[in-house]
Structure 1
């Protein structure tokens, strides 16, 4: 497990930081030091294991920020705790390459520092595109992103940016200069907005030109935000993080609306919408597509023996296991103890064989229900017959499921059993 290095000589501040870290959900092990010497010793024990550092600027054995020089020299993203704001020192710290600094002004400041580490964790999975024909300006913005652990790709003009986007469809944020050859920032934003909604791709315009209308023009063309050059790192990060968190909030709300409230799997409505797209693609490309309906054979027994509340708990545990095994396919809770699975690329034979392995693995698990270890087994109907509609394919899978249940359950019936 990666570690977070926290260096602070104040007992009171360290106590607050320990409490905040313990209360957080950081997937990293915190290690604590009260001096530069102790921090160096901790680093030497496992030099490759540090994700980030949160360090006090003034320590008894490092009164002039030497601990910052140490962590940065080891390529550890560093957040600085400082007792006071000083413009000259702030500029020096950013020039060295820190992530950010936090002034010690109460509990909120320390919570903010821990939140920055959370942000760094998330940023690792976010890809951004920097578009600017000036090498110096483009590299400067790219480096600012990299300090916060974003994945960064670059483009030299609007035409190049469109090509990069086609090659990297997972880009979440684009920041573009205004004045560029071939295609300027306005044209780029306007063209991309025909394809990407504001909740699909964040676009931020930047410019060093003095026209007051530039920001309005960028926004009118579809940009989410605008930055005027030159800008302070704090302003840059504030705008970036604000827009990223907005996007994450929209994604979270959208995702919640698509999920079954009990199990967290997709619900029926989302499944049908997504399945129709898979069905349409399979028909157009004549590619295999299997539909499976899974039913938990002994769920009624669990419900009757332990009550509805424990029945719900059983469904949550079963759904979690199915998600682990089937999550790469389109999986949804259909109704009560029925689950739908759409398996693109697999014909009925391969899909049935795969589900047989899933059935074996699920049967081998022990689910703790009302203090008892309970085994679970299921039946399934599987078909790769596309027929004339998705509804007909689902009906065929349901017919096979009924046959499996009528035959005693704990089995899979597919097209080969016709």
Structure 2
């Protein structure tokens, strides 16, 4: 279990909050809430890895809290353990039916609580590892298309809220089929890895995303990047990949590996991604290819 895990303790009694904090603080970061509404606010904002939730609270019961958590896409995934003085079997059954992963009765044994929390956080850790693996392209070890699709939706909404631009680039390796046919797929895989490494080196802001879209195509998602900055990045990427000097004896464009790039910048609005963002970037890529490849074209929404 990692100390980077976060546990939200929800209990209206300060003594219980203090006791659980002292019990868990060596294993994880503990955040506190003294009522249901505060718990919902902190769960939504801080996204804890686990919630320890009292059932009997004055303003909103633990049952109401977990129902609200499970009805919200942003918090439904957070596991909840009930800690309650209600110790009848039907009380435990109700808690589990509402979606709790465990039920601990008061007065609780500190060592048992600590071990149960450790076990559930270990399960969370394993789940996160699997989720991360599912978002990574196994060949290039960068984000895959699934991760790109997920990030596009969230970054579109964020940029719409902040009234900031969103730029998208599509990158295609020039005459890659000819490369594979001439030098073999193993060599082609090495080229894709080198390109992925170059993109990751050049696109380094925390919010930016480099992903393999499929085959020899890559995408860049650049939230908060305006058209001039994105266009300059596209030019830098094209030049850097050519400068790798990876031989491509079957290319009619150059003697080395080159890429074509098409990009689009928009000002997002609304909650749904406008499909024209990708189609316009793809059209810019097509134009770059039509003009002879090994170049970058950029479009801006009018």
Q: Higher mean Cα deviation, 139-148 or 275-284?
A: 275-284
Tell me the CA shift for residue 209 of structure 1: 4.6
Work out whether 1:380 is the aligned partner of 2:257.
no
SS in 2 for 1:133: coil
Partner of 1:157: 35
TM normalised by structure 1 equals 0.58
Distance in 2 separating the partners of 1:339 and 1:361: 15
Distance in 1 separating the partners of 2:44 and 2:294: 46
Q: Deviations over 1:154-194 (max 9, x none)?
A: 112222222323442x3221102233332232222222222
> Structure 1's 235 and 313: CA in aligned 2 closer, same or farther, altered over 3 A?
farther
SS in 2 for 1:171: coil
TM normalised by structure 2 equals 0.77
- 1:292 aligned residue (169, 177, 199): 169
Distance in 1 separating the partners of 2:16 and 2:157: 45
Segments of 5+ residues of structure 1 without an aligned counterpart are 1-118, 368-373
Distance in 2 separating the partners of 1:236 and 1:164: 22
Query: Is the 8 Å Cα contact of residues 386 and 393 (structure 1) preserved in structure 2?
Result: no
Q: Deviations over 1:327-350 (max 9, x none)?
A: 632433223211122322223222
Tell me the CA shift for residue 129 of structure 1: 0.8
- 1:392 aligned residue (272, 276, 281): 276
Work out whether 1:413 is the aligned partner of 2:291.
no
Instruction: Point out which structure has higher relative CO (alpha carbons under 8 A, 6+ apart).
Output: 2
Kindly tell me the number of residue pairs found equivalent between the two proteins: 289
> Structure 1's 143 and 321: CA in aligned 2 closer, same or farther, altered over 3 A?
farther
Query: Is the 8 Å Cα contact of residues 5 and 121 (structure 2) preserved in structure 1?
Result: no
Partner of 1:401: 285
Query: Is the 8 Å Cα contact of residues 166 and 268 (structure 2) preserved in structure 1?
Result: no
Query: Is the 8 Å Cα contact of residues 296 and 338 (structure 1) preserved in structure 2?
Result: yes
- 1:180 aligned residue (52, 57, 67): 57
Partner of 1:191: 68
> Structure 1's 411 and 139: CA in aligned 2 closer, same or farther, altered over 3 A?
same
Partner of 1:136: 15
